[in-house]
Structure 1
Amino acid sequence: MPRRAFRRDARGVSTIEFAILSPVLFLIICGGLEIGHTMYVQSVLTGQMQKAGRDLALEGSANVDARIALQAGVTNAVKTLVAKPTITFVTKAYHDYRNVGRPEEYVDTNGNGICDNNEPYVDANNSGSWDKDASNKGPEGAKDVVLFEATVKYDRMIVGPLFPFGKEVQLTSSTLLRNQPSTEQAAAPQRNCP
């Protein structure tokens, strides 16, 4: 075959193009499936946590048996979608909604960003000292705001084995509820930082 004819011969070009593009196409499809699966697991986890929040509001978050049953419900829902997940639950009680996930309020009179120099603060958890986490250290009480949080970790299905980085997925969902007002909630005392 002459050289000119060989240059114009297009047979087999589509096979070479497919060989070049197929790995990219494979990664796009697998990545899309992985993202879709992760979004679905997050959606189920969020739905179960919302259900747990509603149920705990009715049962009372201090009811240990109800809390264990709700944790089992969340765990079972996730285990139907993911192989060998690690699920951890955190429950924290706060005096009110504005304290959730925040340090105790204080007046920073010297502007150094630290509660010191006899600056006044609201001891929301009644621990006797200023805390970076305003959650109660003891048992939760009436009208306390309870944070119920679940963290799920699991290995990726498809893309994880192909790449050494990003092998694990971590999803978190939380819900807040307020305990029933069975008794009056004590006011948070005002104290001074050392």
Structure 2
Amino acid sequence: MPERPFTLAVIVASTREGRFAPVVASWFTAHAGRRDDIVVDVLDLAEIGPYELRYGSEEMASYAKRVGAADAFVVVTPEYNHSFPAPLKHAVDLLHQEWQAKPVGFVSYGGISGGLRAVEQLRLVFAELHAVTVRETVSFPMAGSLFDDDGKLREPLDADRAATVLLDQLAWWAQALREAREARPYGS
């Protein structure tokens, strides 16, 4: 009997004007969207505007509901000055229990490090929130040169394989942790 699909929230972390994030996020969500075991919900922080969210507002309630409804997360993040974007930190810090006992994966991009320094810092943040980060990542060093003008990877084979491994790990953790949360709410 096949398991019911899990909801994967893909968080697009960059909010800068002229950002490259939509190219990477579109590639990843297309890859995830080909799977029968995943329902993708894109949370683009440029549209959500985390600094404008106020407790008690409809926008904040909607954001919290979408994060709470997700069974797993993938953060698509650039690396800015050896770290991740400030709006992402704010968006994460606005909530707490919505992140708990759920897996988080990362797709990063940037210069020579491919955003991996940002990912290592994000692992610490999500550990504090009692989320489980998966080991495998998808990383794009010198990302601008890897995609063509239409947003397609010039040589997709390695990245496609990495995305498949990441999604397989997330699927395992998402199903296992969802079953655990349903059997016994986290923290009790």
- Is TM (by shorter chain) over 0.5? no
Structure having greater relative contact order (Cα 8 Å, sep ≥ 6): 1
Tell me which protein shows more helix as a share of its residues.
2
Shorter-chain TM-score range: under 0.3
